[in-house]
Amino acid sequence: MTCEFRVIAFLTEDGRVFEQAEIEQRFSKTATEMGAAALIMLPPARKIAAPEGWSSFDTFRYCAAVLAAR
């Protein structure tokens, strides 16, 4: 048995590393509200590097693909 999925949305949000859990919770809530069958979180990508010694203030782009069954 195979299941086919299609991407119905692509979610993005910029934030710092200590905001990741909150961002992912928002992604999950949004996907649920859209009736998604699955949510794929992609690895965060560094968008803006903070000055040396302030790495906790680096800004990352968080992305997720929202999937629905065909």
| pLDDT tens column, 11-35 | 999 999 999 999 999 999 999 999 9
- The residue among 54, 58, 63 whose CA lies nearest residue 9 is 63
pLDDT at 70 over 90: no
Q: What are phi and psi of 35, to 5 degrees?
A: 80, 30
Give Cβ neighbours of residue 53 (< 8 Å, ≥ 6 apart).
Answer: none
pTM of the shown model: 0.85
CATH number (domain holding residue 28) = 3.30.1660.10
48 is in which domain, residue-wise?
5-69
Domain count, the chain: 1
